[in-house]
Structure 1
Amino acid sequence: MFPLGLPRLFPTLHCDDGAKESPVPDNKKLSTAISAVKDAISVQESELKRWKRIFDTHAKLGDDGERYLDTESFVKAIAPAEDLTKIGRRQFSILFRVADTSKRGLVSWEDFVVFETLLKRPDADYFVAFQYFDVDSSGTITFDEFKNVFKANIKPDAIPFDFDCDWVKLYLGTKNGTHVLGYNEFTQLMKGLQGERLRQAFKYFDRDQDGLIRPDQFKRIILEIAGHKLSDAVIERLPSLATLTPGGRISYSEVVAFHNVVREMDMVERIVREATAKSSDGRIDQSDFVNYAAASSRYSLFTPMEAAIIFHFAGRGGGTSRLALVDFAQLLNPKWRAPQSPFPEEKEEKQANVLNRVLHSAYNFVLGGFAGAFGATTVYPIDLVKVRHWPTLIEWVGIFRLGSMQNQRSTVVGQLLYKNSIDCARKVFHHEGFLGFYRGLGPQLIGVAPEKAIKLTVNDLIRGRAMDPETGRIKLGWELVAGGTAGGCQVVFTNPLEIVKIRLQMQGEAAKAVPNQVKKGAIHIIRQLGIFGLYKGATACLMRDIPFSAIYFPVYSHFKTDVFHQDYNGKQLSFLETLASAAIAGMPAAYLTTPFDVVKTRLQSEARKGQSNYKGPLDAFGKIWREEGFKAFWKGGPARIIRSSPQFGFTLVAYEYLQKYPWAEPKASAKLETALTTPRLEDISRIRARNALKIMLDVQGDISS
């Protein structure tokens, strides 16, 4: 499908005898026309429909009954809602002149298709700028065209530019009009234009030719050349560059160094991001920056003066030796704004923060209930079989039979109830039915809400207080403290929960030993045990849950950040990455705490005839060691991995996704990313339109439309 606007690329030949006009290709436009036709062929039907929707949304009805875009509606149609740069929506009106090929002040549907097709070119940014300067549409740019367009787009009081300089003559010849610029030559001229403007501007202010200018003159130069690339905070402090060297004035070397920093801002950001990410404390100094730049690139080098300028503006001139990623935000992000907290609004802001924290904590309890119940229900049959009998993971698939249940003791008088885990699962289903796998689930679900809420809340609370607000980092010691404290607090809920659960699970096993035995409900067990009885084995529970959480939460956090690179360049983890981080973190935490789980299970289970009674954790450790040996402490270890790994995996995935509610406070890492960047553009055509504007804004920092 050919855009209807393409025939206008061919001028028409009018016949004197009144015959119908026929399009005849102009030799000067032939190559441009062929290129446009090739691009038009590649336009897919879906893209044309999308362009049509955009056009119809913003177009207005003209006097002739057709729909057109004027300057205002054209800007609305092509300007992105958000951008990485400081380019204002008003400045996108510059592109209207390129789209309005008929020069009537209106863009038709055919014109819009041609313009959007143009933006599909891989070099659309430079090609649009070329068409902007190519006033007569000849396909070349003369000296007069370059000079007139340049002068028309700078302010009357701008720093003068000498068009008779050697630099211009090298591109356009020594005589005006003797040489014209083709497209490729024009791109190189525009790329070097800023350097020449900088040189001429410095020379203009350096009247006494001592190689120094005043700070206010330096600020004016940068505003005209690169004002759209810097945040307001950096612009305000531009004169402070004079403090880097004695004398209170700025040299040409410093001006060039600052311009090089601005020109290489993307490289600066990459080096800062990677260097701070690999730093032990999330901060870097000037030496770290220079060393990492030298080690990570083959040719790009930053001079000591350029590095000093970077750290001067990032550190706000405070002389801070080591800076965090967030410190560089005001230099790297032109849209950066300093956080403002006016005194009259300070009280309201604090009240809002307190309300957010209350809502956050309240929601965590609800969240813990849903997430914990989901995870517990998913793996509960595995947990029941583990308590009654659990061999190694290899035995689970029937290859070996090496283990035994945590509560099935080697010294029991009589025959073992279960040969292996498969036999255990088969007999549970045969004697108790499918619901037998969920015996004791009720207390588990009742207690899981406060348990998960208190664990997740305490861990997040301590991590938030111990975390460096600038780097988003937390020391390993505090990670262990946060996790361990969270695990200790949860015992208040988990110990009564688990002792009731274990005794309910064991009733099915006891029923086979004592036929027609009346099964006891959870309420009966609670009354039988009493308040103190519900906390039987609490010491062992603490010995298990504190190290479990102290291992789990740091491993989970580091898997997300160090392995899957969460929050690096704004990356958010996928479902599978979050699930893998949570599940893998549960493996070492579950297995390494198995001995404490064995002791806890023995203490909380009712001893049957012929089984040892334990007075406490130390007594249990001693008797198990003497009667069953070292291997007994690791009974159910693989089972804990298979149960805890998916349980915590699904629980934490649910927690992460349900935690994204409207009033949630952003995490520290998210705050850093928000300060540094805004969402990146997804439509490549809009990116190219923006880049074309950047090229033209290099002519004047605030180019007029």
Structure 2
Amino acid sequence: MEMLLGGTSAVCAGTITNPLEVVKIRMQLQGELQSKGKYQIHYRNVFHAGCTIAIKEGSFALQKGLRPALLYQFFMNGTRLGLYDMIDRTQFTRSKDGHVSPLRSIAVAAFAGSVGGLVGSPFFLVKTQLQSQSDRSIAVGTQHKHPNMIGAFKYIYTNYGVLGLWKGASSSLPRTCVASAVQLSTFEMSLEFARKAYPDGNRWSTAFLASLISGFFVSFAMSPFDLISTRFYNQDVDKHGKGVTYRSVLDCAAKIWKREGFLGFYKGWSANYIRIGPHTLLNLMFWDQLKHYHKEYLKGK
């Protein structure tokens, strides 16, 4: 039940924020491994990118990859939030006085995020490749030309086998590990702070404040890992299913640093920040409320 509640809350949030995910991926792939000023800029900022995609490809293009994106949210966050909640119920993340233990909370969140990232990796792979596909006039990054989600899974499985569906998983683990560690630990501590600071506040207002604080920290911490993950998943592969552009996560990071500089790791940061804030807010608010309703339901039985 914990995993179902976590997955459901993530799907609700992902449906609303998916257009920002499409914009973010396009901006992250723009100017891949090229120095500033040496590539054509199709997307100047998050708002320009959204308008450009809608004009060139139609407004529905902003919801590209929605199905695999929601499946990714369900399985990754369902696993991540479910595991965290189950461990939290054992009081392992709490100190003897009952307060949240930052170190234990971070460790559990990182573990849960890593497991969730591994479970959801095939959906993240397909989501990324579908969302990067665009009109040729504004194309960035490798264009895979999958017809749809089922077609993408079929192509990858036929050519690279079951393990091909987990291509790029090594880049996803640091991303989900860091994001989860920062998100869940800061959310739990912020929720504790909000409830103490506003004891008369309702559940929605305290969850809103806690989510807002958590989203701020997550956006800065995970952006470089998120960009590396996007590049790694979207790259072309050889006949053996191995990446053509990046051999490993460290190789990817080194090439970005060398050719694009430090700021290269924060390409698409504005879209990521605008996306992460609402997504964290909605996801954790829905999660907190669903857990509350579930507890109330069990009490009433």
Which interval holds the TM-score relative to the shorter structure? 0.7 to 0.9
Query: Aligned pair in 2 of structure 1 residues 479, 513: CA closer, same or farther (>3 Å)?
Result: closer
TM-superposed CA distance for 1:388, in Å, is 0.7
Q: For the residues of structure 2 that align with 1:596 and 1:628, how far apart are their CA atoms?
A: 15
Contact 1:386 1:639 in 2 (8 A): yes
Q: For the residues of structure 1 that align with 2:139 and 2:285, how far apart are their CA atoms?
A: 41
TM-superposed CA distance for 1:572, in Å, is 5.9
Show the 5 A alignment for 1:369-384. Answer: 369-384=7-22
Q: For the residues of structure 2 that align with 1:518 and 1:562, how far apart are their CA atoms?
A: 48
Structure 1 SS opposite 2:134: helix
The residue type equivalent to 2:5 in the other structure is L
Unaligned runs of 5+ residues in structure 1 are 1-361, 390-404, 666-705
Q: For the residues of structure 2 that align with 1:386 and 1:365, how far apart are their CA atoms?
A: 27
Q: For the residues of structure 2 that align with 1:479 and 1:486, how far apart are their CA atoms?
A: 10
TM-superposed CA distance for 1:505, in Å, is 0.9
Contact 1:591 1:640 in 2 (8 A): no
Q: Which of 32, 45, 55 is equivalent to 1:409?
A: 32
TM-superposed CA distance for 1:419, in Å, is 3.6
Describe the superposition over 1:525-572 as per-residue Cα deviations: whole angstroms up to 9, x where unpaired.
22332322222221221111112111111211111112441796xx56
Q: Which of 128, 151, 158 is equivalent to 1:524?
A: 151
Q: For the residues of structure 1 that align with 2:122 and 2:252, how far apart are their CA atoms?
A: 20
Show the 5 A alignment for 1:267-666. Answer: 362=1, 364-389=2-27, 405-409=28-32, 411=34, 415-465=40-90, 466-467=92-93, 471-510=97-136, 519-530=146-157, 531-565=162-196, 573-607=202-236, 613-659=245-291, 660-661=293-294, 662-664=296-298
Q: For the residues of structure 1 that align with 2:13 and 2:285, how far apart are their CA atoms?
A: 10
Higher helix share: 2
Coordinate RMSD, CA, aligned = 2.8
Contact 2:23 2:50 in 1 (8 A): yes
Show the 5 A alignment for 1:247-286. Answer: none
Query: Aligned pair in 2 of structure 1 residues 474, 520: CA closer, same or farther (>3 Å)?
Result: same
Tell which has more relative contact order, 1 or 2 (C-alpha 8 A, sep 6+).
Answer: 2
Describe the superposition over 1:454-506 as per-residue Cα deviations: whole angstroms up to 9, x where unpaired.
11111112222215597323422211111111111111233212111111111
Q: For the residues of structure 1 that align with 2:182 and 2:132, how far apart are their CA atoms?
A: 30
Q: Which residue number corresponds to residue 240 of structure 2?
A: none
Contact 1:603 1:614 in 2 (8 A): yes
The residue type equivalent to 1:627 in the other structure is R
Contact 2:198 2:206 in 1 (8 A): no
Report which of the two structures shows the higher radius of gyration computed on alpha carbons.
Answer: 1
Q: For the residues of structure 2 that align with 1:501 and 1:558, how far apart are their CA atoms?
A: 32
Q: For the residues of structure 1 that align with 2:278 and 2:245, how far apart are their CA atoms?
A: 33
> In percent, how many aligned pairs have the same letter?
23
Using the size of structure 2 for normalisation, the TM-score is 0.83
Show the 5 A alignment for 1:100-115. Answer: none
The residue type equivalent to 1:637 in the other structure is W
Contact 2:6 2:82 in 1 (8 A): no
Contact 2:194 2:206 in 1 (8 A): no
Structure 2 SS opposite 1:415: coil
TM-superposed CA distance for 1:429, in Å, is 0.9
Structure 1 SS opposite 2:133: helix
Show the 5 A alignment for 1:675-686. Answer: none
Unaligned runs of 5+ residues in structure 2 are 238-243
Using the size of structure 1 for normalisation, the TM-score is 0.37
